[in-house]
Chain A
Amino acid sequence: MVNLIQSLGAYALKRVFSAGRLGLFFVYAIRGIFLPPRKFWATIKQIQFIGSKSLVVIGFTAAFTGMVLALQGYHTLSRFGSEGWLGSVVGLSLIRELGPVLSALMVAGRAGSAMAAEIGIMRIEEQIDALECMAIDPFSYLVTPRLIASLIALPLLTAFNNVVGILGGYMIGVGLLGVNAGAFWDGLITNVDWSDLNMALVKSVCFSILIAWVCTYKGFYTGVDEGRFGPEQVGRATTEAVVISSIAVLTGDYVITSVML
């Protein structure tokens, strides 16, 4: 019984310690914006990595999501003779929900995993220790550029996702299923307003912070708790980074939607 209480206590303390460290990690990353070294080019490089290199995968995801939405929406709406609403169904679904969430999940899988692995390798190869010994703040050097880049890239990727998805929906709805083009655009323009775009923006900004925060944190503390620094720890950190950031995105999506609706 005493052992059980001891184990529970140790577990609780460990969790509290991890939560505190996660919070401080974010504070240090934000503080890094104001600390040397200059990080303009490092941030540009990360925007290119997170943003432009994700365009193809996000384009594919968006196009097929829009196409499937058009197919499903058409078959449902046609039961009520409301095919003309297809534009608004596709547009609203994409802009409010699927665009931000799918873009975030794709970025978590592609760029987030790479962030965790790259920083994790730097940890096991003593490169983070080397940075500290060169009197360079590792949070400012490694985490801050990725956080800023993610903040810039993900909202833009979400916008791209929404545009491509709507075009995919238009192609199937108008081109294949014969919905009137005017009705498609009119439904879209009439029913999508600024609050929907605002919701997409808020979501993508929050998701970008969550992804960069979780993935860089997991990479940064690779093997630290176990006191072991090997490839196995990098693999584990990468997997955990993707899983936790994806769960954070889905949970965050529910919270933001419930607050903003």
Chain B
Amino acid sequence: MVAVLTRIFGVHNLALAEDVVQDAFCRALEVWKFSGWPENPSAWLMAAARNRAVDALRRERTARTFAPELGRALDSEWTLVPTVDQQFAPHAIQDDSLRMMFSCCHPRLKEEAQVALILNILCGFSVSEVAGAFVAGRAAIEKRIQRAKQVLASSRRLFDVTDAAEFSGRLPAVQRALYLLFNEGYHGASAEAPVRAELCGEAMRLTALLREHPGGGTPATFALSALMWLHAARLPSRMDAGGGLTSWLDQDRSRWNGALVAEAERLLERSASGTELTEYHVEAAIAWIHTTARRAEDTDWKSVVTLYDRLMKLRPSPVVALNRAIAISQLDGPERGLEELRAIADRDRLASYPFYPAAQGELELRCGRSEEAREHFRAARALARNPSERRFFEQRVAACDAEPRARESRMRRPA
């Protein structure tokens, strides 16, 4: 709704657009208390927002200018209401969402600011909810969003999605923002829950919107979609009934969502065109191998390692190197894996990332060195970002304690 209203009021009146939406929701609360839940709540809210928008336009006509593209149509009662209604038509709403998405990925904004803006404006997350999605204090997020909105409001107009050159110029930033949004939901470092399915859902919804636009449906966007769909398919089994994380090796694969996997396959096919192999293609391919292996033991690790080599060339990062090292350990054994872990460039950037010591712990354990393993898992536990992660690492520490006892009892048995 804010996207639609900003289109009518003009990007410089972003705050007015938000106020109108806020008013519509307040009105809803007042009215629904008495008359009960309407049959179609979102239609009701849209209508309320539209009515309030018309009121605001009439009231503010003399004091403000509105969207330059709509010209003087808003000045005259002959055309005021039909012009507003045109903006509330379904295809127009989708266009406005896309336009807002691109506007939020303003080049002057850092990636975290872009994602925070998308969450706040397009997904309707409150400032507190956005703060909950990232590991950052409410005050910091509030400032970040406020500054970002100032940058947005100071741009002369909303992004022009019909300008092909500008569109393809900003597309990578939009794809990256959606990738980060999904990532936050999937691997989130939130203090409350490690998995925020709603963030994943929002990222998927917006990526689908992007895909449907003729300029946005590039092979890279299809690859990004496939990647999200594949990860989302595995979401149901990522956490157990008690809210604990399960290692993907132990996940119940029957709980993976077959429909999402099937859709992902179609998306992968659509992505296999053009000449550009992007990081999203490679990540999607890796996810595909994992998802289609019937059991963890059947995973084609050789291909996974090759793909990680490729990914390191496209987007080198310590986290990618970490995942690659784990894949190598599956292929060539834990000692090789440990070598690779120790050889990661920029290892210091992983200093607060719990899965680095956790990986070391797993591999030491597999080499039979439970003492060293325990130390690594303790380090991982100290870095845990939420209760689920802490519990998971606790269990791994306990697993190390179980080892020497097992060996002792083996030694005590008669030869």
A and B co-occur in one complex: no
Residues in B lying within 8 Å of A, measured CB to CB: none
Residues in A lying within 8 Å of B, measured CB to CB: none
